[in-house]
Structure formats: structure tokens, C-alpha cells
């Protein structure tokens, strides 16, 4: 917790330092020379909804020090969790989501199976300590059911369920930490978990959230920004640029919506690059581990390796 607080202090200090114009345009400087009180920065800016923190200040910086179209840090962990067939932990800024996938496997209830394809079940579990305010949600909470239904409809056309009739694919989403952009993180993590489980997909699904502050569009909103701005979440399939999900729960002008929609589709490509990199490095690590077993050991000279390892690096498509 001291780490989190330190980071919050440091980020606030950086934001204030930039807002006061000390290091304008100087990307290399990282030292913090002064820590001005947030009130002084707020007093210098014109109209803002929250008197203590500005959404976007005159220098073009947001409350956490990012620029308008800058996405938060993404870190992906594809290590195995428990006995799940596929799992992924995606940390997008301060929002952390763990998704585990089981399947395709025999359905728990035969009555719910379909004769020609697999059934995709999504369950969302928001842990009570994920937000600043502890809230113990019942399993059938409406918001969680809505989130689960949204994820399910996003992935139904993408997962090749026709290959597995009368079976079930279970996706369990656990929200470990929330700081805005929950739906986008859940969708990205689900894509990675399905890929790790070896379930055939038509393409990756990359989601990004965006909002509009006055007339300036912004990408990847934190909780602070989501509470104040109208925001939209867009999920794209990057290779074909097809959109599988657009959600908007607040009011937004049609022109503004067009801008932010285009931006979000482009941002989906950036996230796609990160996800591909993570999956490739995980796959090559696994292949090296397998290759190590085949090439060494007592039966090595007898066993012929018929897999060409170079395919991992030269093959561009997935």
C-alpha cells in the first residue's frame, strides 16, 4: 500500500510539475524539483467540474500526467492459474482483471447444450476489495450480469463454436482492481485467455474506451474521468477492422461520437500489437521448453524432430 501511495504522490507531482510549465516539451527530464499543491494548479485553469483535479489542463495533460490520446501501461501475464485450460491476467493502468477459461468440455447441464455448436458461458466476479469503497455484490447482481452478457455477445461471433457441438466453454472473469476501463480490460483479457486455452478464434478482439471532454476526445479513461465524461467502449477485430462491440451509456453529441469512434478503432490496433507480442513470447517460451525436452535426454538421437521452429518468427498471421 505504501507503494501505491508513493506512486499516487509521484504521479500527482509530475502532473503538477508539467501543469506549471517547468519542463514543457522536455521528455527526458525525470527529476521532481518541486511539488506544488494541487489547488494552485486548479486555480489557474478555467471551467472544470471537479474543483480539485482538472480533467485536461492548458498544457494538454490529464489528471494522471498522460496526454489526450495516450493509453495507460499494459502488462500481460499468461502464466497458468490453477487447473484452468487458459488464463490471463491483464493490468491496464490500475485496472487488473484475471480471466480463466475452461473448455471446450462436456456441459454441466445437458439441457443447455446446442446440437451444432458450443455454448459460451461468461461469469463475472468482482472482488469486494477491487474498488476504494468495499461493496459485496451478490452473484446475480444486475451490473455484473450485464457485463457478462456484453462480453458474451462480443465473443459469440468470434469464437469458432461450430467446431465443438454439444459442449460448453466457460469464461470466468475476476476483477481484482478497478480504476476505469473495466469493460475494455475484461474483453482484452478474455481474448488472451481464450487464445491461451487454444480455442480457435477468428481474430483477436481489442477493446478501448474513450470519452469527450468539452470538445477534446480522450482515450482510455480512469475512474475520475469516467465519472465526469460521456464515454464509449469500442471493441474491434484488428485484421479486418470489423467492430464487434460499441457501448455508450451517457449522452454524447453525434459529431463528437464520430471522432471518438474513429480514434478508438485506431487505438485498438495499438492494443493488438501488445497482445500479439505477449502471445508470441509466451508461445516461443513454451516451444523452447518442449523443444528442450525433445532434443535432449536419452532418446534424443533416435527421435526425429519434424517441427520447424522458425515458423514462430517468420509467420506474420495468426
Site for another protein in 166-185 (CB under 8 A): 170, 172, 174, 176-177
All three cell numbers of 274, joined, read 501488445
Query: Is 18 among the residues that bind another protein (CB under 8 A)?
Result: no
- Report DSSP state, residue 159: B
Query: Is 84 among the residues that bind another protein (CB under 8 A)?
Result: yes
At its nearest, how many Å lie between another protein and the CB of residue 123? Answer: 6
At its nearest, how many Å lie between another protein and the CB of residue 41? Answer: 17
3-class SS of residue 124: strand
Q: For helices 254-295 and 182-196, give the axis angle rounded to 10 degrees.
A: 30
Query: Is 45 among the residues that bind another protein (CB under 8 A)?
Result: no
From candidates 108, 143, 262, 277, binder to another protein by CB under 8 A: 108
Regarding beta strands 119-126 and 167-177, do their DSSP bridges make them parallel or antiparallel, or are they unpaired?
A: parallel
Q: Of 188, 171, 155, 173, which is closest to residue 105 (Cα–Cα)?
A: 171
Whole-angstrom Cα distance, residue 92 to residue 64? 14
72, 92 contact by CB (below 8 A): yes
From candidates 134, 142, 251, 313, binder to another protein by CB under 8 A: 134
Q: Of 67, 123, 74, 64, which is closest to residue 96 (Cα–Cα)?
A: 74
Query: Is 141 among the residues that bind another protein (CB under 8 A)?
Result: no
Whole-angstrom Cα distance, residue 88 to residue 76? 7
Stretch that binds another protein, among 17-25, 45-53, 127-135, 291-299 (CB under 8 A): 127-135
Query: What is the per-residue binding string for another protein in 267-306, x denoting contact by CB under 8 A?
Result: ------------------x---x-----------------
Judged by beta carbon, residue 18 or residue 174, the one nearer another protein is 174
Judged by beta carbon, residue 258 or residue 293, the one nearer another protein is 293
Helices (H), strands (E): how many in the chain? Answer: 7, 9
Judged by beta carbon, residue 4 or residue 157, the one nearer another protein is 4
Tallying the residues shown for the chain, one arrives at: 318
Show the 3-state SS of 170-209: EEEEEEEECCCCHHHHHHHHHHHHHHHCCCCECCCCEEEE
Query: Is 81 among the residues that bind another protein (CB under 8 A)?
Result: yes
Which spans of this chain sit near another protein (rule: CB under 8 A)?
Answer: 1-6, 9, 30, 79-84, 87, 94, 98, 100, 102, 108, 123, 125, 127-132, 134, 136, 139, 170, 172, 174, 176-177, 285, 289
Amino acid at each position: 500500500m505504501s507503494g501505491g501511495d508513493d506512486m499516487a504522490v509521484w504521479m500527482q507531482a509530475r502532473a503538477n510539475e508539467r501543469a506549471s510549465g517547468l519542463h514543457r516539451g522536455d521528455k527526458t527530464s525525470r527529476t521532481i524539483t518541486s511539488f506544488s499543491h494541487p489547488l494552485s494548479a486548479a486555480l489557474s485553469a478555467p471551467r472544470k467540474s471537479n474543483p480539485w483535479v482538472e480533467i485536461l489542463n492548458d498544457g494538454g495533460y490529464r489528471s494522471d500526467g498522460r496526454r489526450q490520446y495516450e493509453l495507460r501501461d499494459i502488462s500481460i501475464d499468461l502464466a497458468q492459474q490453477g487447473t484452468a485450460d487458459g488464463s490471463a491476467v491483464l493490468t491496464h493502468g490500475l485496472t487488473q482483471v484475471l480471466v480463466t477459461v475452461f473448455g471446450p468440455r462436456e456441459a454441466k447441464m445437458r439441457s443447455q447444450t446446442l446440437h451444432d455448436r458450443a455454448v459460451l458461458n461468461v461469469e463475472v466476479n468482482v472482488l469486494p476489495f477491487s474498488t476504494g469503497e468495499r461493496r459485496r455484490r451478490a452473484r446475480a447482481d444486475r451490473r455484473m450480469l450485464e457485463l457478462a452478457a456484453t462480453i458474451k455477445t462480443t465473443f459469440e461471433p468470434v469464437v469458432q463454436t461450430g467446431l465443438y457441438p454439444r459442449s460448453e466453454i466457460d469464461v470466468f472473469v475476476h476483477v481484482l482492481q478497478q480504476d476505469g476501463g473495466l469493460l475494455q480490460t475484461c474483453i482484452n483479457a478474455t481474448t488472451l485467455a481464450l487464445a491461451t486455452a487454444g480455442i480457435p478464434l477468428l481474430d483477436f478482439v481489442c477493446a478501448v474506451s474513450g470519452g469527450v471532454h468539452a470538445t477534446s476526445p480522450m482515450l482510455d479513461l480512469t475512474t475520475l474521468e469516467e465519472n465526469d465524461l460521456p464515454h464509449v467502449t469500442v471493441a474491434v477485430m484488428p485484421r479486418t477492422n470489423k467492430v464487434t462491440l460499441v457501448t455508450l451509456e451517457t449522452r454524447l453529441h453525434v459529431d463528437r461520437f464520430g471522432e471518438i469512434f474513429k480514434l478508438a478503432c485506431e487505438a485498438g490496433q495499438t492494443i493488438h500489437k501488445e497482445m500479439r507480442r505477449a502471445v508470441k513470447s509466451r508461445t516461443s517460451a513454451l516451444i523452447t521448453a518442449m523443444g528442450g525436452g525433445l532434443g535432449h535426454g536419452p532418446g534424443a538421437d533416435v527421435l526425429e524432430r519434424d517441427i520447424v521452429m522458425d515458423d514462430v518468427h517468420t509467420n506474420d498471421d495468426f
